[in-house]
A and B are shown apart, each in its own frame.
Chain A
Amino acid sequence: MNALELGFFGICALFVIVGGIATVGARNPIRGAMGLLASIIGIAGMYLGLAAEFLAAVQIIVYAGAVVVLFLFVIMLLGPSATSPRDARSAIPRYAGAAIFLASAGAALVMFIQAGGRAVHGGPTAFAEAPPTLGTIEAVGRELFTRGIVPFELSGALLLIAVVGAVAVARGKQIDPTMLAKSEAVAEKGSAHHAPSPREAASRDAVGSGKAPDKELKEATS
């Protein structure tokens, strides 16, 4: 086995697994997002080793450039409340989870060692030489625009619907500013005789607390 290729694979595997553990185990979500970033970069390196250059570039652009940044925007938008407080549940589910993980990791390790033993003898799992067109932008693009044209167009529609849905969900209920001025005038007029009704007070509270995050979100999504 080529030592350089194996070393590159080992570094990528280290990034992937350490990044994954950091993602899941970090108490601070920002550290979790950084672990996700390390994991994604390791997987992009593995795509390079698997003759999938186009997918490696897409992985870096979409995940590292968009998804992780979106996570960081939301974490910073939420501020200190994004960090989860101390977990109050009993220790049994945690130990059960750790046991499941260790058993699965042990099984994967056994498979790993067996694969190494077979590959030394030129076992059936070693890859053949790949044709030079495998995974290039030209080849993947030709496939994508001939055989995969229908799902490609449908994925465009899916992304459009997702963008519209994300904006609609994250925006929340907007209060019409003209209605707001009217209700404030009513409250001013009535304040001499009685206190503003709880509904008006609630709507004003909602405006006061909801305005700043909305503004930041619009900046984040634009």
Chain B
Amino acid sequence: MIHVPLEYFLAVAAILFVIGSVGFLLRRNLLVLLMSIELMLNAVNLTLVAYNRMQPQNHAGQIFAFFVIAVAAAEAAVGLAIVLAFFRVRKTVRSDDADLLRN
């Protein structure tokens, strides 16, 4: 039986990473920025697991993806806490308004 080849997974991961990076660069809503980071981390995870499937004698890629998931969860918690603290100061979540240190 021939499985779905590696490049299909890599193509989906690449498209998802591009979607996430474009969203991170173009959107101005802090919540959407954090979600875009999650999308990019998921794309990297998909690449790691797909390459692990090419080397089925060990689990290095899957273990790495596991740690990436742990770090992403920590990043989401701290990032959302920062968004809440920022909202308490400026009453908005637009990243353009985060300019207290500019002048």
Q: Which residues of A contact B (CB under 8 A)?
A: 1-2, 5-6, 9, 13, 16-17, 20-21, 23-26, 29, 32-33, 36, 39-40, 43, 46-47, 49-52, 54-55, 58-59, 62-63, 66-67, 70-71, 74-75, 77-78, 81-85, 87, 89, 93-94, 97-98, 100-101, 104-105, 108-109, 111-112, 114-116, 118-119, 122-123, 125-131, 134-135, 139-140, 143-144, 147-148, 151, 155, 158-159, 161-163, 165-167, 169-170, 172, 210, 213, 217
Contact = CB atoms under 8 A, between A and B. Distances in A.
Contact of B20 (A24, A147, A163): A24
Contact of A70 (B1, B45, B77): B77
Given A51-B53, A70-B76, A115-B6, 20 more contacts: A20-B16, A20-B39, A24-B26, A36-B38, A43-B46, A47-B49, A49-B4, A59-B69, A62-B73, A71-B34, A71-B76, A74-B31, A78-B84, A81-B92, A87-B28, A104-B15, A111-B10, A134-B59, A155-B70, A162-B75
B98 interface: no
Contact of A122 (B2, B16, B57, B93): B2
Chain B interface SS verdict (over half): helix
Most chain-A CB neighbours within 10 Å: which of B45, B46, B62? Answer: B62
B9 A50 contact: yes
B6 A84 contact: no
25 contacts: A9-B8, A23-B19, A36-B35, A55-B49, A59-B69, A63-B42, A63-B72, A67-B38, A67-B73, A74-B31, A78-B84, A84-B27, A84-B28, A84-B94, A85-B94, A105-B18, A119-B2, A119-B7, A126-B2, A126-B3, A131-B56, A143-B63, A158-B70, A166-B78, A169-B81
Contacts, number: 256
Chain B interface category by residue count:
35 or more
Nearest to B25: A97
Chain A interface SS verdict (over half): helix
Contacts of A161: 74
A3 B49 CA distance: 22
Contact of A17 (B16, B76, B78): B16
Nearest to A151: B67
Interface string B78-103: 10111111011001111000000000
A74 B19 contact: no
Contact of B4 (A1, A36, A58): A1
B29 A66 contact: no
A11 B7 CA distance: 17
